Structure 1
Amino acid sequence: MLGLFMILPVFMLLAADMPGFTPARAGLAVGIYGLTQAALQQPFGWLSDRFGRRRIMVAGLALFATGGVVSAMAETMGMLIAGRALQGCGAIAGVALAFAADHARAQNRSVVMAIIGMSIGASFLLSMMISVPLSTLLGLSGLFWLTAVLGVIGMLLVFTLPAAKVSKEKVLQESGASSIVWLFALSVFLLHAVMTLLFVVLPGMLVRQFGFELEHHWQIYVPSMVGSVILVFPLLRWVSAREKEAKAMPLAFLVLGIALGLMSLGGSLAAMVVCALAFFLAFNLLEAAMPSMVSKLTGASGRGQKMGLYTSFQFLGAFAGGLVGGWLLGFGGEVTTLSAGGALCAFWAVAMLMWFRSADNRQQA
């Protein structure tokens, strides 16, 4: 993830001198990674159910590394787009989550998923701080060579992982498992859509409204993320111990909606930090609890395929959030964009609560 995130902050500027560059082609080069990821998550998950998680993770990382080499050697935008698409073919996020779920006890699974989510968040924050210095030193080609090296290191690390365990978990019937997977697939789509939407709006908002220049934005993101991490682990343990996930998740979506709504009002920089803390806390809770619930309720049989479906919607949500967020920002401005995201989260909180209550009523009947 670090190799992927390092490219994003500097790509548009460094690719401008490449033959065939246009903003549309550069945008395609950025976005096509997410599209190929979304398309291949479920097939890779299906393959991991049949041939083993480790083999498929190694194959996916090999594709990612090969895509990095193609991108590093690219002399035209077309070749660069092809390299980025090949990088996206290493679609192993769902396989990795399934592997983690295979090796974690059900009662500890939310914490394990939280650790994975935190490591991704830490990679994102670190990339924000090191991408500019590294791009000055290595250039765009050098950054892609570095992503290839990181992919190879990841392959070597996979070989050190233990073999999968045989699971004896009790699971839902197939119809119940299918409906819960689709509920959480749609939920993670919305979750990552509003996260991407926030980062479409927030950087410009911090500069224009508060005079907070781009190189200092980490001073907002890092304290908010670290604060949310400190709070989310005890909260997850409390929720998991009491099996309150069904109540906590709609509440977390409501918190997301309130945070986005308050951000749209502006106010002080301190208020923005508090809203960001609340947003990241709710985001991290959902990011950990939802895949944990999917793995608990569906069991090990076909887990890779089901987690692949889940992560497909995760990547599609990020793509849609960027697309719709950019359109809303141009159409109605920052207030409209954040308000729309907040309203959608509040609506989904109600819809999710109604779904869980309906499921409880069906079980009691």
Structure 2
Amino acid sequence: MNSQEKRTAFSLATVYAFRMLGLFMILPVLPLYTDSLQDVTPFLIGVAIGVYGLTQAAFQIPLGLLSDKIGRKPVIIGGLAVFAIGGAIAALANDNIYLIILGRAIQGMGAIAAATMALAADLTREENRAKVMAFIGMSIGLAFMLAMILGPLINSWTGISGIFWVTSMMALCGIILIRYTVPTPATSFSHRDAGIISGYLKPALTNPSLLRIDLGVFLLHAIMTANFTVIPIILRDHLGFEVINHWKVYLPVFVVSFVLSVPLIILAEKYRKIKSVLLISICLLIAAQILLASQFTMLEPMLLGFLLFFVGFNFLEAVLPSLVAKYSTVDTKGTAMGVFSTSQFSGIFVGGVLAGTISMVWGISGVLILGGILASLWLLIAFSLPIPQFYKTKVIRLHARFIKTPEDTSRALLLIPGVKEVSIAIEESVAYLKVESKELDNNALKIYSS
């Protein structure tokens, strides 16, 4: 990568991490306020935790499409400003749960994910785009881990309002980064591998395999959100951990689960056992939920269940986007990822609301059993997934003479050994390919690149 691409990757990853850190820090803290906020109920706590997912899901695709028309930076800066305003409203709520819900809902309206990925694509060359996207994706996982540690610590020092003030300050820092550090692209395109294109929404929404993956990520994040409506309470009220010490549980579980999930990812991708390991990981979620529901008052079984959950969760978080790329056609990948992300945030909302409702009737064990039921449903759906092809997406910039005859160029590219799918974007002067790396004739492909 050149210096601009490195600066783009680092700056956008930081901005994205700031935003996700702000959203996640409240997750291990808000359930602990069930007895201290005005007019609060477990249901309202669930809504407050999950409502940002509802508004994020509602605004993500429209704002991504808007960024194609008015530019990436105005949408991202506007989204971060909205996020900061939402944080300020929640910080000034003065223990009013309804104002906290309002603030969280407004935070979710600043949905910048699609515009951020599109800006990254605008500023990177085709051969380095995947690296930059992966770097930004890694920042999300890091933000989640840091949020679980920092949330309880900041809460112990400043209370819940302090967390929301910190999230607003991080959003303002993100605006500064976008304004002064991230380069402004000379031109912006609707990139088929990284952006949302309205004409491709129907194919993305009618592909049976993609719909199963979308439902899978919906259920995964519903389970995760539901779990975190009760896990902080378990740690404090049943296992005797002071809130400021919750990080001593979260940190080792996250580190160990990450280490244990890496061999699963290698087995799935390198050795092409992705469906088998996917099913095993869902079974890990089911086992974790059973263990948590039956033994949450005992430290060792509870920690084992928590660890098993995050081994499965980490693997699925890494592999599900890969499956979206494998099941989508070469020109619908970006749009399919937008629908996938929308499903993910929708699951966060539904998980929070369901958990809040169930906990009022069946308590902690009811919420954890809910997670087991949802994971079992997912297992039944996942069994019918076809085994995917392990083709790689490759983007090449075409020589001008080949752009003039796109149909002939497509047919010629398909004759090259290893090229399985071709889609030419005339406005970008590029060809989007799906290739079998082991068979690909790179020398023949170089003839067509500029």
TM-score (normalised: structure 2) = 0.64
Q: 1:336 and 1:70 mapped to 2: Cα distance? A: 32
How far the C-alpha of 1:297 sits from its partner, in A, is 4.2
Contact 1:177 1:298 in 2 (8 A): no
1:37 aligned partner: 56
Equivalences for residues 13-32 of structure 1 within 5 A: 21-23=38-40, 27=45, 31-32=50-51
1:68 aligned partner: 87
Pick closer, same or farther for the CA change 1:4–1:348 going to 2, 3 Å. closer
The equivalent position to 2:247 in structure 1, one of 207, 212, 218, is: 218
Establish whether residue 86 from structure 1 lines up as the match of residue 106 from structure 2: yes
Q: 1:203 and 1:167 mapped to 2: Cα distance? A: 41
Establish whether residue 341 from structure 1 lines up as the match of residue 360 from structure 2: no
Q: 1:188 and 1:86 mapped to 2: Cα distance? A: 23
Pick closer, same or farther for the CA change 1:235–1:80 going to 2, 3 Å. closer
Q: Does 1 or 2 have the higher relative contact order (CA < 8 Å, sep 6+)?
A: 1
For residues 200-257 of structure 1, give each alpha carbon's deviation from its aligned partner in whole angstroms, at most 9, with x where no partner exists: 2333334454444444332222111111122333432442223333332222111101
Establish whether residue 155 from structure 1 lines up as the match of residue 175 from structure 2: yes
Establish whether residue 249 from structure 1 lines up as the match of residue 278 from structure 2: yes
**When you count strand as a share of all residues, which structure comes out higher?**
2
1:275 aligned partner: 305
2:356 aligned partner: 326
Equivalences for residues 180-199 of structure 1 within 5 A: 180-199=209-228
Pick closer, same or farther for the CA change 1:186–1:16 going to 2, 3 Å. same
Q: 1:75 and 1:90 mapped to 2: Cα distance? A: 23
Q: Secondary structure at the match of 2:272?
A: coil
Q: Secondary structure at the match of 1:355?
A: coil
Pick closer, same or farther for the CA change 1:330–1:15 going to 2, 3 Å. closer
- The one-letter amino acid paired with 2:286 is G
The answer to which of 280-289 and 126-135 deviates more is 126-135
The answer to which of 99-108 and 185-194 deviates more is 99-108
Pick closer, same or farther for the CA change 1:289–1:116 going to 2, 3 Å. farther
How far the C-alpha of 1:166 sits from its partner, in A, is 9.2
Pick closer, same or farther for the CA change 1:250–1:112 going to 2, 3 Å. farther
Contact 2:152 2:243 in 1 (8 A): no
How far the C-alpha of 1:13 sits from its partner, in A, is 5.2
Pick closer, same or farther for the CA change 1:105–1:341 going to 2, 3 Å. farther
Establish whether residue 125 from structure 1 lines up as the match of residue 148 from structure 2: yes
Pick closer, same or farther for the CA change 1:248–1:106 going to 2, 3 Å. farther
Contact 1:113 1:288 in 2 (8 A): no
- The one-letter amino acid paired with 1:318 is I
Q: Which has the larger radius of gyration?
A: 2
Gaps of 5+ in 1: 361-365
Q: 2:340 and 2:80 mapped to 1: Cα distance? A: 20
Pick closer, same or farther for the CA change 1:98–1:329 going to 2, 3 Å. farther
Gaps of 5+ in 2: 1-19, 194-199, 390-450
Q: 1:226 and 1:207 mapped to 2: Cα distance? A: 22
Equivalences for residues 102-121 of structure 1 within 5 A: 112=135, 115-121=138-144
How far the C-alpha of 1:279 sits from its partner, in A, is 0.8
Q: 2:210 and 2:120 mapped to 1: Cα distance? A: 17
Q: 1:38 and 1:100 mapped to 2: Cα distance? A: 21
- The one-letter amino acid paired with 2:311 is L
Establish whether residue 231 from structure 1 lines up as the match of residue 260 from structure 2: yes
Q: 2:156 and 2:110 mapped to 1: Cα distance? A: 27
- The one-letter amino acid paired with 2:147 is F
For residues 118-146 of structure 1, give each alpha carbon's deviation from its aligned partner in whole angstroms, at most 9, with x where no partner exists: 2132232233343224425xx72x55443
Q: 2:320 and 2:117 mapped to 1: Cα distance? A: 11
Q: 1:209 and 1:143 mapped to 2: Cα distance? A: 25
Contact 2:63 2:112 in 1 (8 A): yes
Q: 1:201 and 1:14 mapped to 2: Cα distance? A: 11
How far the C-alpha of 1:40 sits from its partner, in A, is 0.9
TM-score (normalised: structure 1) = 0.77
Pick closer, same or farther for the CA change 1:36–1:337 going to 2, 3 Å. closer
Contact 2:214 2:344 in 1 (8 A): yes
Q: 1:118 and 1:245 mapped to 2: Cα distance? A: 21
Q: 2:287 and 2:31 mapped to 1: Cα distance? A: 33
Q: 1:298 and 1:51 mapped to 2: Cα distance? A: 28
Q: 2:44 and 2:302 mapped to 1: Cα distance? A: 31
Q: 2:233 and 2:100 mapped to 1: Cα distance? A: 28
The answer to which of 260-269 and 174-183 deviates more is 174-183
Pick closer, same or farther for the CA change 1:339–1:32 going to 2, 3 Å. closer
How far the C-alpha of 1:350 sits from its partner, in A, is 2.8
Pick closer, same or farther for the CA change 1:210–1:294 going to 2, 3 Å. same
Q: 2:36 and 2:175 mapped to 1: Cα distance? A: 32
The answer to which of 51-60 and 70-79 deviates more is 70-79
Contact 1:10 1:131 in 2 (8 A): no
Q: 1:23 and 1:269 mapped to 2: Cα distance? A: 29
Percent identical residues:
33
Establish whether residue 298 from structure 1 lines up as the match of residue 328 from structure 2: yes
Pick closer, same or farther for the CA change 1:278–1:22 going to 2, 3 Å. same
